[in-house]
Amino acid sequence: MLSPQNISLQTINLPELSSLGIDLRILRLDLIHPEISGNKWFKLKYNLAFVKQKGFKKILTFGGAYSNHIVATAAAGKYFGIETIGIIRGEFYEPLNHSLSFATKCGMRLKYVSREVYKNKSNEAFLKELQQQYPHAYIIPEGGANNFAIQGCTEINKFIPNETDLICLACGTGSTLAGILSTAKAHQKFLGFSVLKGGDFLMNDVRRFLEEINIYKENFVINTDYHFGGYAKYTLELIGFMNDFYRKTAIPLDFVYTAKMMYGLFDLIKKGVIREKNILAIHTGGLQGNFSIKDKLIY
Ligand SMILES: *Cc1c(COP(=O)(O)O)cnc(C)c1O
147 Cα: distance to centroid of ligand 1 (angstroms): 15
Cis peptide before 95 (omega within 30 of 0): yes
- Residue range(s) of every CATH 3.40.50.1100 domain in the chain: 8-38+150-296, 39-144
Instruction: Report the nearest atom of ligand 1 relative to the CA of 287.
Output: 13
- At 86, is the secondary structure helix, strand, or coil? strand
Asked whether 152 lines ligand 1 (CB < 6 A), one says no
- CATH pick for 8-38+150-296 out of 3.40.50.1100, 3.40.50.2020, 3.90.1310.10, 3.40.50.800: 3.40.50.1100
Q: What is the pLDDT along the chain (299 residues), one digit of tens a residue?
A: 567 778 999 999 999 999 999 999 999 999 999 889 899 999 999 999 999 999 999 999 999 999 999 999 999 999 999 999 999 999 998 999 999 999 999 999 999 999 999 999 999 999 999 999 999 999 999 999 999 999 999 999 999 999 999 999 999 999 999 999 999 999 999 999 999 999 999 999 999 999 999 999 999 999 999 999 999 999 999 999 999 999 999 999 999 999 999 999 999 999 999 999 999 999 999 999 999 999 999 99
**Under CATH, to which class is 39-144 assigned?**
alpha beta
The pLDDT value given to residue 87: 97
258, 284, 287: which to mutate for ligand 1, most atoms within 8 A of CB? 284
142, 150, 176: which to mutate for ligand 1, most atoms within 8 A of CB? 176
**179: Cα within 13 Å, side-chain hemisphere:** 27
The pLDDT value given to residue 93: 86
Instruction: Report the nearest atom of ligand 1 relative to the CA of 285.
Output: 13
Alpha helices (H) in the chain, listed in sequence order: 15-18, 38-54, 68-80, 98-105, 115-118, 124-133, 147-154, 175-182, 202-212, 236-249, 258-270
Q: Sign (positive/negative) of CA torsion 44, 146, 84, 286?
A: negative
Q: What is the pLDDT of residues 236-276, one digit of tens each?
A: 999 999 999 999 999 999 999 999 999 999 999 999 999 99
The contacts of residue 274 (CB under 8 Å, 6+ apart) are 166, 191, 265, 268
Q: What is the 3-state secondary structure (H, E, C) of 165-212?
A: CEEEEEECCCHHHHHHHHCCCCCCEEEEEECCCCHHHHHHHHHHHHHH
The pLDDT value given to residue 1: 55
The pLDDT value given to residue 4: 78
Instruction: Report the nearest atom of ligand 1 relative to the CA of 174.
Output: 9
Asked whether 286 lines ligand 1 (CB < 6 A), one says yes
Rounded Cα–Cα distance for residues 52 and 48 (Å)? 6
The contacts of residue 88 (CB under 8 Å, 6+ apart) are 62, 63, 64, 65, 70, 100, 110, 111, 112, 113
Which is nearest to 87 in space by CA: 57, 117, 107, 44?
A: 117
Asked whether 175 lines ligand 1 (CB < 6 A), one says yes
62, 171, 193, 203: which to mutate for ligand 1, most atoms within 8 A of CB? 171
- In angstroms, the first-to-last Cα distance of the chain is 32
151 Cα: distance to centroid of ligand 1 (angstroms): 15
174 Cα: distance to centroid of ligand 1 (angstroms): 8
Rounded Cα–Cα distance for residues 123 and 179 (Å)? 23
Rounded Cα–Cα distance for residues 86 and 71 (Å)? 10
Cα-only R_g, the chain:
19
Rounded Cα–Cα distance for residues 88 and 70 (Å)? 9
Rounded Cα–Cα distance for residues 58 and 46 (Å)? 15
Asked whether 288 lines ligand 1 (CB < 6 A), one says no
For the full predicted model, state whether its pTM sits above 0.75.
yes
